[in-house]
Amino acid sequence: MKAYAVSAFTGPLEEIDAAEPRVGRSDVLVRVRAAGVNVLDEKIRLGEFRQILPHAFPLVLGHDLAGTVIRVGADVRGLKPGDTVYGRPDDQHIGTFAERIAVPESDLAIAPASVDIEAAASFPLVALTAWQALVERGRVQAGQKVLIHGGAGGVGSLAIQLAKHLGATVATTAGSASAQFVRELGADIVIDYRTEDFEQQLSGFDLVLDSIGGENLEKSLRILKPGGRAIGIAGPPDPQFARDAGLNPLVRLAIRGLSAKVRRQARKLGVSYEFLFMRASGEQLRRIARLVDDGVLRPAVGRVLPFDQTAEALRLVAAGEGRGKTVVSMP
C-alpha cells in the first residue's frame, strides 16, 4: 500500500510501498480518508524524541486520522465495519500517512457527525492536547484567566474555544494577520507577538499553555499569579513525565537536568511548571465529538492538500506557514 515514511532520522519524507497492517485482537483496521499533519510529525522526523520514542525504519509518520472501519479484531466490541471513526493512534502505532492502518480500539471514537471527513481528521491530536492541558491537568474553572500561546495554530485554535467553553477569560498571542481569526474563536485579548510584549500587558493569570518554550516559557511564568501553572507542550520535559513514561534511570537523570532551570524559576515565583506529552484516548475523543456536534468546538482547518502532497504539507507545517490545521485528503 502507499504510505509516506522516513528511512532515517532527519531524512526526507518519501512515498514508499508499505506492508499491509497486521490486525491484532484488539485492533481496528481503518481505511484512512484524511490525516492531520502536526508539528509533532516534524519533531519525530528530526529525531527529537529518539531517546524516549524508539522507532524502526522505514517509519511511516502521521498522528491523526479519520476514515472508515474495514475490519475489526476478535476482541473489538464497540466498532464495526463501515463505521466512520477518528483518532490519534498511540505512540507505538503511529502511521496515518498511509492508505490503511491498524489502530487499537481504545484510541478511536465515532467521528463527529456534523463535520466533513477532513475536519474530523484535524481534531484528534490538537483537541486531545487542549483537553488534557485545560480540563484534565489545568482544571480550568469559570472566571479564571488563561493565556494560550500560538492561538492561530492547530492546538491554540482548539484551546481557545475549549477555554471559553469552560468559562475562562482567554488571552492569546498571534500575528496581526490572524487577530480577527482568533477573536472569532473566542479570544478576549489578542497580543501581536511580533510587535508587543505579552509580559508587559498581562498579569495574574491562572494558567498558561505554552507551545514555544525557551524564553517565551520563562516570561510566561512571570505573568502567573501565585499558585498558577504553566503547562508546556514544547518542553523541556520534566521528571514526572520521565517517570510516567518508564524511562531508564540515565534518561530520567538527563531529563531532570533539562528542566531544572525552569522548575527552579517557577519555584522562586511561587508557581509551577509541567510538561505535557499528549496521550491517545478514545474515551476523551467521544466527549470531544459531542462538543463538536453541539457546536461548542468547530474545526479550524487551514488547508487541505491531496495525499500525494503529504511531504509538502509537512514542510509547510514545519515552517509555521498558515493558520489552523493542515490536513491531507486521500483519493
Give mean pLDDT in consecutive 10-residue pieces for the chain, a chain of 331 residues.
97 97 98 96 93 88 98 98 98 96 98 98 97 98 98 94 98 96 97 97 98 96 98 92 86 90 97 96 98 96 96 94 89 85
* Cα–Cα distance, 60 to 76 (Å, whole number): 25
In the structure grid, which three cell numbers stand for residue 43, read together?
Answer: 519533531
* Cα–Cα distance, 73 to 52 (Å, whole number): 29
Q: Which residues pair with 304 in a beta bridge?
A: 327
Read off the pTM: 0.95
What was the pLDDT predicted at 197? Answer: 97
Domains in the chain, number: 2
In the structure grid, which three cell numbers stand for residue 147, read together?
Answer: 493565556
Residues 264 and 145 grouped into a single domain:
yes
* Cα–Cα distance, 8 to 47 (Å, whole number): 9
- CATH code of the domain covering residue 78: 3.90.180.10
What was the pLDDT predicted at 324? Answer: 86
What was the pLDDT predicted at 272? Answer: 97
What was the pLDDT predicted at 246? Answer: 85
Residues 87 and 205 grouped into a single domain:
no
Residues 66 and 133 grouped into a single domain:
no
- Full residue range of the structural domain in which residue 303 is found: 2-123+299-329
What was the pLDDT predicted at 53? Answer: 80
Residues 240 and 324 grouped into a single domain:
no
Do the domain assignments include residue 286? no
Residues 156 and 269 grouped into a single domain:
yes
What is the SS3 assignment for 240? Answer: helix
Residues 208 and 268 grouped into a single domain:
yes
In the structure grid, which three cell numbers stand for residue 204, read together?
Answer: 495574574
* Cα–Cα distance, 99 to 47 (Å, whole number): 24
What was the pLDDT predicted at 124? Answer: 98
Question: CB-hemisphere CA count at 13 Å for 19?
Answer: 6
What was the pLDDT predicted at 119? Answer: 98
What was the pLDDT predicted at 251? Answer: 86
Do the domain assignments include residue 47? yes
